Amino acid sequence: MADQGIESVLQETRVFIPPSAKDVGGPEWLISSLDQYNEMYKESIDNPEAFWAKVAEDFHWFKKWDTVLEWNAPDAKWFNGAKTNVCYNCVDRQVESGHGDQPAIIWEGEPVGDNGSPVDQRTLSYKELQTEVSKLANALKSKGITKGDIVTIYMGMVPELAIAMLACARIGAPHSVIFGGFSAQAIADRVGDAKSKMILTCDGSWRRGKVVELKKNVDDAIESMGNDSPVESVLVLNRTNCGAPMHTIDSDWATETGAASADCPCEELESEDMLFLLYTSGSTGKPKGIVHTTAGYMLFTATTAKYTFNLVPDTNQTFWCTADCGWITGHSYIVYGLLPNRVPTLMFEGGPDYPTPARFWQIVDRYKVTQFYTAPTAIRAFMKWGDEHPASCDLSSIQVLGTVGEPINPEAWMWYRNKIGRGVCPIVDTYWQTETGGHVLTPLPGATPTKPGSCTLPMFGIDAAVCDEAGNVAKENVGGLMTIRKPWPAMLRGVYGDRQRYIDTYWSTVAKDGEPYYAAGDNTRRDELGNFWIMGRTDDVINVSGHRLGTMEVESALVSHESVVEAAVVGMPHEIKGTGIAAFVTPAPGFEGDDDLIKTLRAHVATEIGAIAKPDMIRFTNALPKTRSGKIMRRLLRSIAAGDINITQDMSTLEDLSVVAKLSEKDEG
């Protein structure tokens, strides 16, 4: 029965064409059949340079390129010799072509009035955006920021966050956006690594009716760096009136931009100039700064956004990606991939269930959202909160539904399609990474037959394969490494300040005849139709609510507390988060492994990293189970955390894992 349901989904999805595209006669580029996709995909792989050169014709260049691609593994130069500016292509170009009055960004703030209506709403046209971005860009310049200086952005989801990113892009100052949920320590780590001279922040941000003091975290970060702090100035936007104290290096956003000129021409940048840095977790060490550059990233994000979501300007579309700009999803599919397509992008400041679990659906209804893009963890939460919430709103505007961040369970997929997509909207399950810049595996709506749980087929220009370490392609339905065999325009260009880590992490796992392939760090397989199924990470990275965390990062945070001698962190199944965090901790002598210590340690991890890294479960053990060679038996810990191995706790609060360890030793690899 269940299979039949899925079969009918397959059929419907195959023929579905979003109504808006039809209304305008279906633009010729719209991919509306699998054959059309196959043909174009083949072109993009057989002759990537011709393919991307053609795409590039749709963008603005101050100077055209000498070569489309120079590939010297693992270094790619796309559109070398050209000059362009991402901000120009996002903003100025729309103004120049006579669309300056169209909405570029639609924003809703979190707070609501007594009647439940939002109190803060803003729509910025391209013209207004151009003015705001230019003023801020001039304000940055007046603080001494010039091309190549890395600017840190630590803000809530307000329009000024997008304005800040664009202002940096405008003057060629790479930005490093830090998610507003990260702690002071996390800011210090990132600002220190990037040697960032300037931080843009808010006094506070709204989170479920309360103020999160962002500026205070910035102050604490700077203070903790002491004389090593590279920060020369901080620009503070007043969002919450929480009275954040101002220091000598601080200045007020409104004052500075108010005094600045609205005339700031876009810097003519080289294709390979750095556009931004974004820190992400790996299996070892501190988070690494993923480097993205200008031209290739711009082309790829705008092109993938267009095809994956069927973006058609002038058809009353409104695109909403619910991610935070602090993650790559927000960079690529709120800001950079959206604006060049001239479809308004919606930004929302709050969370999905404040003040009610219907908030997201009210927003869809209010702004007639046509493309809705969220994470499986959110979908599972919506399911739990009840069908009455989406049912209370008019969701008929939705044309395409997207998911991202982790594999989606078929149950959540079906619910999403039926309760949010009226049983007709195609779902695009987009697989990609901070490192890939944009979608690398995804269905195209109305063209690719979909199967719940599969992210289906490669994006144009992505030579994706399931390989072994020697680069041999795995047989149908046999698992292997998620590999990309050729460079693509938005691929990362490096790990900031750490060339070796770039090579070791991505280019040293798979190689064929001496040619390294990109190894994504995921296990995957392809089915009989060629669809990809992602089967989890190959490294010690866990995916918590669609956010990547290194288990070692959480372990380091735990052992930095005086009460902890040793800690091991593994992922465990979690109903909503997909993967939860389980920590096994050996307390130091004199410390009691009790509920109080659990609370203390959870709070400590939040201080060291951020609330998203708080362990869901902490268990105390007198010693961590280890193999004879001294390796922590992670597989055993995962089984215990998942409840597959039951250990009856004795009267003491400490578990003795050594016995189970002896029994399991032969199973550990």
Q: Which stretches of the chain bind ligand WT7, using CB under 6 A?
A: 280, 328-329, 404-407, 429-434, 455, 520-522, 534, 537, 543, 546, 548
What DSSP state is assigned to residue 112? B
Q: Which is nearer to ligand WT7, 430 or 621 (CB)?
A: 430
Q: What's the min distance (Å) between Cβ of 454 and ligand WT7?
A: 9
**Nearest-approach distance from CB 301 to ligand WT7, in angstroms:** 12
Which residues, other chains included, contact 210 with Cβ-Cβ below 8 Å and sequence gap of 6+?
Answer: none
**Sign of CA pseudo-dihedral 105, 111, 114, 115:** positive
- Pick between residue 380 and residue 548 the one whose CB is nearest to ligand WT7: 548
Q: Tell me how far the alpha carbon of residue 435 is from its chain's centroid.
A: 10
Identify the three-state secondary structure at position 298: helix
Query: Least CB distance from residue 455 to ligand WT7, whole Å?
Result: 5
By beta-carbon proximity to ligand WT7, the closer residue of 125 and 543 is 543
- How many CB atoms are located within 10 Å of the residue 46 CB? 9
Nearer to ligand WT7 (CB atom), residue 151 or residue 492: 492
Smallest gap from Cβ 362 to ligand WT7, in A, equals 25
Amino acid at 617: M
Helix (H, G, I), strand (E, B) or coil at 200: strand
What residue type is 324 in one-letter code?
Answer: D
CA distance 517 to 246: 49
- The smaller minimum CB distance to ligand WT7, of residues 103 and 376, is found at 376
Nearest residue (CB) to ligand WT7, 213 versus 429: 429
Spatial distance between the Cα atoms of 165 and 151, rounded to a whole number of angstroms: 9
Secondary structure of 398-455 as H, E, C letters: CCEEEEECCCCCHHHHHHHHHHHCCCCCCEEEEECCHHHCCCCECCCCCCCCCCCCCC
Which is closer to ligand WT7, CB of 441 or CB of 585? 441
- Beta bridge pairs of residue 619: 584
Q: Which is nearer to ligand WT7, 240 or 374 (CB)?
A: 374
CB of residue 628 to ligand WT7, shortest distance in Å: 32
DSSP result, 265-284: PPP-EETTSEEEEEEE--SS
Smallest gap from residue 255 Cβ to ligand WT7 (A):
36
- Both tokens of 483, joined, read 């590999």
Say how far apart CA 71 and CA 393 lie, in whole Å.
51
Nearer to ligand WT7, 267 or 522 (CB): 522
Residue whose C-alpha is closest to residue 601's, from 589, 623, 619: 619
The answer to whether 372 touches 382, Cβ cutoff 8 Å, is: no
* Least gap, CB of 359 to ligand WT7 (angstroms): 22
Q: Which residue has the tokens 């339905």?
A: 477
Nearest-approach distance from CB 182 to ligand WT7, in angstroms = 14
